[in-house]
Amino acid sequence: MEQVLKEFAPYISPIITAIGVILIAWWKHDQPRQEARIKLELQKKEAELQEKSKRRNQYVSQIYGLLWQLLHDLKADRVYIVQPHPLTHREFLSISLEVDRTGTAGMKARIQNLPMEDVAKFSSELSSRDYLYYKDIANNVRDKRARALLLNAGSQSAIIRKLSTEDDGWIGNIFCEFNHTTEISPDYARGRLEVVAEQIQYILPPIQ
């Protein structure tokens, strides 16, 4: 065996070199095809992202229009959407979209990444009840932290509608708030919010 290895030793290096040359030649031949495939995949991915962004912007514009309509129809001072996130294990509440009547301070900056455990009673109501009508926030809202947040923003009354889908369950709530004690009929408000909720809940982008 040793003698055989000695006899083949001079050929080993040329064989390895030849194999290397073949591999390099194959790689150079195949490289343009691989680069073209990668470029095509990147272009496809970019087009998908652009389409997704365009669709999201269209949905957001549509939702804003619906919120403005609610603000007008219910004579509210602010209307906004609160969303739990992340949807896989809901831990926080944040306002994603908001419209306000001229001269009314917004709520969005006040409710961002609010731990749900800090407003546990309120979070439970938001997730379990389809419709909430708080004519007198000071006396109707049981959660102390949530009550303080609403009152400190100047709200006296609030009407809330749950948003949900079959796939994700509870995905958020529409809040209509009033800087006065509202006299809007609960049945009328429920009907308007139900219609708007049906149009929003399947196009509402999640908070990542």
Give the pLDDT confidence score for residue 4 in this predicted structure: 47
Count of C-beta atoms within a 10 Å radius of residue 53: 10
Structural domains of the chain sorted by starting position, each given as residue range(s) with its CATH number in brackets: 1-208 (3.30.450.40)
The model's pTM is: 0.77
Could you tell me the CA-to-CA distances from 141 to 10, 144, 165 in Å, in that order?
91, 8, 26
Digit-coded pLDDT (tens) for 116-126:
999 999 999 99
| Token pair listed for 142 | 């049981």
How far apart, in whole angstroms, are the C-alpha atoms of residue 23 and residue 29? Answer: 10
Give the pLDDT confidence score for residue 171 in this predicted structure: 97
Pairing of strands 169-178, 114-115: unpaired
pLDDT bucket at 53, cuts 50 / 70 / 90: low
| Token pair listed for 188 | 């009328």
Residue type, 84: P
Digit-coded pLDDT (tens) for 9-43:
565 676 677 676 676 766 666 666 666 565 667 66
Digit-coded pLDDT (tens) for 61-108:
999 999 999 999 999 999 999 999 998 889 999 999 999 999 999 999
Length of the chain: 208
Residue type, 17: T
CA atoms within 13 A on the CB side of 96: 24
Q: Which residue has the tokens 């949905």?
A: 59
**DSSP track, 74-109:** TT-SEEEEEEEE-TTS--EEEEEEEEE-TTPPPSTT
H or E stretch covering 80: strand 78-85
